[in-house]
Amino acid sequence: MLFPTHLAAAGLLSRLIGRSPLWLVVGAAVPDVVDKPLGTVGVTALFHSVGHSALLAVVMVPIALSGRRGLAVAIGWASHLALDAGHVVVNGRPADALFLCWPVVEPPDPWRFRPVRSSGTISAHRRSTSNCSSGGH
């Protein structure tokens, strides 16, 4: 799922639950802000690792208990994980949701190309549409 989608979903969620959009958006950004740099520089082999792991709940629970802002951050973080997991399941790749168990369980390679299994999915359609509209970049 695209980073801006997580931020928009957190903003929408803030309206639904009556929380500050700022702190929900901050929480929703945490997984990608942590994991994308780690994956880019090669610290981890995956772009869904530390920040996307349910094991980070050990850190998020005390944050949630620290007050309203902390609770909003934790809810935003949890919404990011739920959306990413739901995204791969809806698109026919339920085994890829194992990123939630990192580092205990390694998910399948997220960069493998599976044209037959993913060509008719929502994500494949969106990827091809966005590639066409951006000139393939």
- pLDDT tens, residue by residue, 106-118: 777 655 544 444 4
The predicted structure's pLDDT at residue 18: 86
Q: Mean per-residue pLDDT for 74-97?
A: 94
Q: Mean per-residue pLDDT for 91-116?
A: 75
The predicted structure's pLDDT at residue 122: 56
3-state DSSP assignment of residue 114: coil
Of the two residues 2 and 19, the one the predictor is more confident about is 2
Please choose, from the candidates 80, 74, 59, the residue with its C-alpha nearest in 3D space to the C-alpha of residue 10. Answer: 80
Of the two residues 74 and 112, the one the predictor is more confident about is 74
CA 79, chain centre distance (Å): 8
Q: How confident is the model at residue 36 (pLDDT cuts 50, 70, 90)?
A: very high
135 pLDDT higher than 60: no
The predicted structure's pLDDT at residue 111: 56
Name every residue whose Cβ is closer than 8 Å to that of residue 35 and which is 6 or more positions away in sequence. Answer: 44, 46, 47, 48, 49, 50, 51, 52
The predicted structure's pLDDT at residue 131: 40
